[in-house]
Amino acid sequence: MTKRETDTVQSAFLKQQPVKMLIGGQWVESASGKTFDTINPSTGEVLATVAEGDAEDMNRAVAAARKAFESGPWPRLTPSQRGRLLWKVAELIEKNAEELAELETLDNGKPIKYSRASDVPLTADHFRYFAGWATKLEGDTIPVSIPNMFTYTLREPMGVVGQIIPWNFPLQMASWKLAPALACGNTVILKPAEQTPLTALRLGELICEAGFPEGVVNIVPGFGETAGAALASHPDVDKIAFTGSTEVGKKILQASVGNLKRVTLELGGKSPNIIFPDADMKYAVRGAMNAIFFNQGQVCTAGSRLFVHKSVYDSVLSGLTDNASKMKLGLGIDPNTDLGPLVSQEQLERVTGYIETGKREGAKATTGGERAGNELAKGYFVQPTVFDNVHDDMTLAREEIFGPVVVALPFENLEEVAARANRSIYGLAAGVWTSDVKKVHKMAAALKAGVIWVNTYNMFDAAAPFGGYKQSGYGREMGHAVLDAYTQIKTVWINLR
Ligand code: ADP
């Protein structure tokens, strides 16, 4: 890390040696004393050293969360008091916005302009939205057909919830998990991704400052195969909420079998983005850019299969190629950067590996197709890449790449493109660009995906449900849909005779 970069971070947070974990209201080192380094992907240099959680730390965190759930002040707080605590977290996020944005960018690599304009404010929004839900978790009165019975339902928290999140939106993912779980009255153990633990831990400090009782939120950084696996299989965890790859999602499900813990999964995607010839082309091309290059393509909803009607294929491809080649690659912390580095050496190898496979299978890059060199060679930078001459069965068109790589695929008609778009193990999101209202509704009905964006892409709001079809997972986050994931229904029968 260069001196200039360290100096931008205002907090004492990075000066801790190591950065500690949060268990039972205390900031502690790992039981084993082990630590791991988190890397600045813009430079490849060590950004901070972090306490490395393992099975023993998870045991302690689960015990703290259980105690807080069963007997601490937490279950006695009124819904209004819970809501106020969540609201306070939103205020503290806003108060510390610049520090959080810089930490997020240094740890993940994403351009600072997006951390400032999107990651941090949306995180605050998420807490504020769910602060409102704490007072609205209602049951029903049930008109049963048995005389003299009064029957009603209570909506109760699940209990102790384990939450495992990825590295692509570290702070937002933490808020998607923590805010609804806490609004519903659960206690939580959050495991951030090993590549990007910093902002979740800083958020933990803000959660303590807001006044949450000890043990309600525990944050244990560590690796997936150790800390993550210990949490996923823990016999005293009632529910796991996971966001990450489909491959690991299946392991989480297997690990849940021991105590039949509830599981929600938000997994991978290979989302189709479909441009009809009657679309407003200026916005469609811009939309296709945002769909694939936002966050370096490290987005589970990335519009990585770009279907373009054959009558406009050449012009869309040349517009996309032109725009992509003009993107400014740079250090995450540089306010002029459009495209930052990938998150890690591993991700760099994975994405460049896909690019090589694509070339071998006959795809032609119209722009990009290489790792970025020169002054960016120390970081994990890949050029924004557009592939032509691809067919649906190629690896590039089937597998999730999770990088700034899009394949363009021509199509002839609506029925054909809908069928091809659906031919995927995934079903997370889909985009449609058209000015014809009939096409809008036909495609919205035909596409097998949890989210459909029409004449827009990558739109998220705390109030709008989000989640996958098929192997993109199950359960929904956000909106009132997520309340089902963090509560259970108890039915009460009272004999009035
Ligand atoms: P990616 O491949 O994009 O890094 P992963 O699905 O591997 O995504 O990781 C998402 C999260 O899952 C991370 O927090 C990671 O540590 C965790 N994880 C990885 N493997 C396991 C596992 N076997 N059990 C539990 N969590 C895991």
Structure confidence by residue, pLDDT tens digits, 401-415:
999 999 999 999 999
Separation of CA 92 and ligand 1 centre (Å): 29
Residue 3 has pLDDT above 50, yes or no: no
Q: Quote the pLDDT of residue 375.
A: 85
Torsions phi, psi for 41 (to 5 deg):
-70, -15
Structure tokens at 258: 């021991």
Annotated active-site residue in 52, 99, 214, 266: 266
Residue among 248, 380, 399, 472 to mutate when testing ligand 1 (max atoms within 8 A of CB): 248
Ligand 1 atom closest to residue 244's alpha carbon, by position in its atom list = 6
Among 99, 102, 300, 477, the one annotated catalytic = 300
Q: How confident is the model at residue 17 (pLDDT cuts 50, 70, 90)?
A: confident
- Quickly state the pLDDT bin for 6 (edges 50, 70, 90): very low
- Active-site residue, 349 included: no
Distance from residue 334's CA to the centre of ligand 1 (Å): 29
Q: Are strands 262-266 and 473-474 parallel, antiparallel or unpaired?
A: antiparallel
Centre of ligand 1 from the C-alpha of residue 250, in Å:
11
Please check whether residue 62 is in contact with residue 53, taking contact to mean a CB–CB distance below 8 angstroms: no
**Bridge-based pairing state of the strands 149-157 and 141-142:** antiparallel
How far is the first Cα of the chain from the last one, in angstroms, to the nearest whole number? 75
**Gap from CA of 190 to ligand 1 centroid (Å):** 13
Q: Which atom of ligand 1 is nearest to the CA of 193?
A: 14
Report the mean per-residue pLDDT for the chain. Answer: 96
Say yes or no: CB of residue 225 within 6 Å of ligand 1: yes
- pLDDT (average), residues 420-429: 98
pLDDT of residue 373: 80
pLDDT at 10: 57
Among 209, 163, 167, CA closest to 182: 163
Maximum Cα interatomic distance, the chain, rounded to a whole number of Å: 83
The verdict on the CB of residue 52 being under 6 Å from ligand 1 is no
d(CA 45, CA 65): 35
Arithmetic mean of pLDDT, 438-452: 98
The residue that leads in pLDDT, 6 or 314, is 314
Ligand 1 lined by 407 (C-beta under 6 Å): no
Over range 160-166, report the average pLDDT. 99
- 98 classed as catalytic: no
Cβ–ligand 1 contact at 224 (below 6 Å):
yes
Task: Report the predicted TM-score, pTM, of the whole model to 2 decimal places.
Answer: 0.97
Is residue 88's pLDDT more than 60?
Answer: yes
**Residue of 58, 164, 219, 343 to test ligand 1 pocket, by largest number of atoms within 8 Å of CB:** 164
**For 55-81, what is the mean pLDDT?**
97
Q: Residues 400-415, buried b or exposed e (16+ Cβ, 10 A)? A: bbbbbbbbbbbbeebe
Question: How much of the chain exceeds pLDDT 90, in percent?
Answer: 95
Give the per-residue pLDDT at 1: 42
Q: Which phi and psi (to 5°) does residue 252 adopt?
A: -60, -45
